[in-house]
Amino acid sequence: MKKIGIVVLIIFTVGLLKAQQIKLRTNYSMSQKVFELSNFDIQDTILYLPLGEKGVQVLDIANLDSIKVLSSYTDSEERRGKGTIWGTAHYVKLVDNRLFLSFGDLGLKVLDVSNPYLLSPVGGYYRNKEVYCFKIFKHYAFIGYKNYGFEIIDFSDLQNIKLVARKNIKDFPVKDIQIFEPNVFVSGAKRGLKIFEFRKPFESFKQAGFPRNYLNGNEIYKILIRDKIAYVANNFRGLTVINILLPQYPSEIFKIKTQGRVNDLLIKGNYLYLSCQKAIHVFDITDPEKPVKIQDYIERGKDFKSLKIHKNQLFALYRGGRKNYGIVVFDL
């Protein structure tokens, strides 16, 4: 029995050694007061970083040992009775040579990024509500409002963006949107998850019945769906794994305590990466219902906000106090 136990231990240890590991490559830091850090996106050697009221910062990451600021994008509009209104950069997503930007009180902006030194708007959508996030689906965008549910727009013609459906919910703060056809999962922090079922064909965006609510006693922020499993960033509760085989009736099957609040989730292959208030966790999800932790990267004083994998490297956005932020890069 001892020999069998030793063999099993050796096999398990070898498996861990072969598993995906993150190795610190470099750390880029900036000293500047920033009120919000949410996400970022990368195209080739250019990184686009929304900084709330500071707008979008454009970084050259061609040389990771010498990351440079190329430009920034801010904008404002004059509103009758309100004076000058400045955009607040919450969330970005690159689609071809266009950068989609949730710009707070200025709505959704679409920017041409062919010249990273000078981003220029080529389209936009605004409806008197603050846009916080969005989800791109083909030539549609699901727009999440800060306190008013979501709407669906058709941006196939950037000069004539059209509203195609609205699911406005007063005082519902949309934090994330995930699509699991014909269902849409919308997280709302203390309001939990709302699950909207649409009739087929999905792109008619005709709702089937009332939305379902899912609450599990803690705030829900990011959601990541893979097949019939949803991974949920459950604030200080940690990571929650939910079976959504029946999307209207999700059931919790597993939960994992993390190093502080979970901010972001990312999957590559059979690995799940979590950015947390005090750490980055790496899990093996060969069994998707029961993630197995294989690595922790813990660095006190860094609140890891968002993750992105680019060219076999993991980029992690962090806040280091009220006046410091930066990006840590790991080799995979």
**Residue 128 forms part of a structural domain:** yes
pLDDT in tens, 24-69: 999 999 988 777 899 999 999 999 999 999 999 999 999 999 999 9
Look at the chain and report how many structural domains it folds into. Answer: 1
pLDDT in tens, 239-254: 999 999 999 999 999 9
**Residue 10 forms part of a structural domain:** no
What average pLDDT is seen over the chain? 92
What integer is the mean pLDDT of 315-319?
97
| pLDDT band at 303; cut points 50, 70, 90 | very high
Q: How far apart are CA 307 and CA 11, in angstroms?
A: 31
**Residue 1 forms part of a structural domain:** no
| pLDDT band at 237; cut points 50, 70, 90 | confident
User: Taking Cα atoms as reference points, which of 86, 96, 110 lies closest to residue 35?
Assistant: 86
**Residue 2 forms part of a structural domain:** no
| pLDDT band at 128; cut points 50, 70, 90 | confident
**Residue 323 forms part of a structural domain:** yes
CATH classification at residue 107: 2.130.10.10
- Please report the pLDDT score of residue 3 as a whole number: 46
**Residue 8 forms part of a structural domain:** no
- Please report the pLDDT score of residue 12 as a whole number: 41
Q: How far apart are CA 44 and CA 311, in angstroms?
A: 9
**Residue 3 forms part of a structural domain:** no
Burial of 260 (0-12, 13-18, 19+ CB in 10 A): middle
In order of 20, 109, 178, 288, the CA distances from 264 in angstroms are 18, 23, 13, 18
- The answer to whether 119 touches 73, Cβ cutoff 8 Å, is yes
The residue segments making up the domain with residue 149 are 23-331
**Residue 34 forms part of a structural domain:** yes
In order of 60, 213, 217, 235, 293, the CA distances from 190 in angstroms are 37, 12, 9, 10, 27
pTM beyond cutoff 0.85: yes
Model confidence at 2: pLDDT above 70: no
pLDDT in tens, 174-223: 999 999 999 999 999 999 999 999 999 999 999 999 999 999 888 999 99
| pLDDT band at 4; cut points 50, 70, 90 | very low
- The answer to whether 319 touches 305, Cβ cutoff 8 Å, is yes
- Please report the pLDDT score of residue 194 as a whole number: 97
